[in-house]
Amino acid sequence: MATNPRNSNKKPRILSGMRSTGRLHLGNYVGALANWVRLQDDYECYFFIADWHALTSDYADTSRVKANTIEVALDYLAAGLDPERSTLFIQSHVPQHAELHLLLSMITPLGWLERVPTYKEQRDNIKDKDLGTYGFLGYPVLQAADILIYQAAYVPVGEDQVSHLELTREIARRFNMFYAGGRGDIFPEPQPLLTPTPKLPGTDGRKMSKSYGNTILLTDPEPVVRQKLKPMVTDPARVRRSDPGNPDVCPVGDLHKVFSDRATLAKVDAGCRTAGIGCIECKGWAADSVVSVLNPLQERRKKYEDNPKLAWEVLDAGSAKARRASESTMKEVRDAMGMSKDYEPPAKSATSE
């Protein structure tokens, strides 16, 4: 396993974060958070709340940014991210990210950014906001700064995000080529740490996503979970109760695959294919499984919900640690670029001799 050369006697360092756009949902949990929780023992983990990234699309109204940051922090802690083992911090509390973003923006060719698939896709699809801004185009550069400033060895990503990391790797290579000189690479190229991202449908059968309004939140109480699952779409072949179905083409079947135990899965499979069970009963079991996953999260969250200042203190301490780590990288960066803050006597110019 490759380790960060600057932390060679330590666990390899990883970094990841989520935009602070409000309460997290089950898709965020199974797609990222649950993996992060598992990684905490084997890696030196930095997990951040990307409030600056939230501004790249939601810049016009910033009234919720801070409250959303706290909500994400509570969900991080509820999911089991442990401040004793992981550094949890707020992006905007570590201004070194912005300094590196600026420096990297100087060397990043415009064409690299215009070619990012999500840039074009989001500009075409999101019509209610003007995304023709400098910040939105440059958001992959900020992302590169977020990762490179910790000289992270790995970034946990799903298969579909590997290409996003490639741009960060290209920016790192370009920086090293210009400035590293004989001193070895300033930025190790971060490797993807592939994590399982099971298919998680939302209540309308499409991918669970905040923008589709089809989410189950980590904070939804049991009655809300049950209510949301009731109208969930099922295998369209099961029109009548007596029609056999196929859990492999049913979004409720997908939910079972992620959250239910073997015995329930077997019951669903046999019952669905023989029309031995009804969809209402099956959704009830899916709700049971989801609730059993959410219960311990909601229990853990309560301590911080009752006293959000505790969560703020975690973020404060984490941000201070993140500032120390990123300032040490920035010293190397400034040195490499000939822009250190130390006094240097003026060099004698050739003409004065």
Nearer to ligand SF4, 39 or 252 (CB): 252
Of 286 and 297, nearer to ligand SF4 (C-beta) is 286
- Provide the minimum distance between the beta carbon of 256 and ligand SF4 in the complex, in angstroms, as a whole number: 7
Q: What is the DSSP letter of 31?
A: I
Cβ atoms of 130 and 138 closer than 8 Å: no
Per DSSP, helices labelled H in 162-204 are 162-179
Q: d(Cα 201, Cα 181) in Å, to the nearest integer?
A: 49
Mask of contacts with ligand SF4, 55-94, x by CB under 6 A? ----------------------------------------
267 binds ligand SF4 (CB under 6 A): no
Smallest gap, in angstroms, from Cβ of residue 211 to ligand SF4? 25
Q: Does residue 282 bind ligand SF4 (CB under 6 A)? A: yes
Binding piece for ligand SF4, criterion CB under 6 A, among 95-103, 189-197, 271-279, 319-327: 271-279
When the beta carbons of 67 and 239 are compared against ligand SF4, the nearer one is 239
DSSP annotation string for 314-341: HHHHHHHHHHHHHHHHHHHHHHHTT--S
Residue 42: CB atoms within 10 Å? 11
Question: Quick one: which of 54, 277, 290, 297 contacts ligand SF4 (CB under 6 A)?
Answer: 277
Pick the stretch among 22-30, 168-176, 222-230, 274-282 that binds ligand SF4 (CB under 6 A).
274-282
Smallest separation (angstroms) from ligand SF4 to the CB of 249:
8
Site string for ligand SF4, 226-255 (x = CB under 6 A): --------xx--x------x-x--x-xx--
CB of 290 to ligand SF4, least distance (A): 14
CB of 210 to ligand SF4, least distance (A): 24
Q: Residue 298 has which token pair? A: 């909601």
**Looking at beta carbons only, is 26 or 104 nearer to ligand SF4?**
26
* β-pairing verdict for 191-194 and 86-90: unpaired
Rounded Cα distance between 112 and 260, Å, is 43
CA 140/CA 105 separation, integer angstroms? 10
Q: Where are the beta strands (DSSP E) in 74-198?
A: 86-90, 154-157, 191-194
Contact of 235 with 245, CB cutoff 8 Å: yes
**By CB under 6 A, is residue 268 in contact with ligand SF4?**
yes
Q: How far is the CB of 278 from ligand SF4 (least distance, A)?
A: 7
Rounded CA separation 24/275 (Å): 35
Cα-Cα-Cα-Cα dihedral of 268, 26, 43, 187, to 10°? 130
Q: How far is the CB of 245 from ligand SF4 (least distance, A)?
A: 3
Site for ligand SF4 in 175-204 (CB under 6 A): none
Contact between 12 and ligand SF4 (CB under 6 A)? Answer: no
User: Is residue 272 involved in binding ligand SF4 (CB under 6 A)?
Assistant: yes
Amino acid at 29: Y
- Shorter beta-carbon distance to ligand SF4: residue 223 or 236: 236
Nearest approach, Cβ of residue 212 and ligand SF4 (Å): 20
Interatomic CA distance for residues 138 and 65, integer angstroms: 20
Q: Cα(192)–Cα(331) distance, rounded to whole angstroms? A: 26
Query: Which residues make Cβ contacts (< 8 Å) with residue 109, sequence separation at least 6?
Result: none
Nearer to ligand SF4, 215 or 260 (CB): 260
Q: Is 258 in the site for ligand SF4 (CB under 6 A)?
A: no
Report the C-alpha gap between 21 and 216 in whole angstroms: 15
Q: Which residues bind ligand SF4 (CB under 6 A)?
A: 234-235, 238, 245, 247, 250, 252-253, 268, 272, 277, 279, 282-283
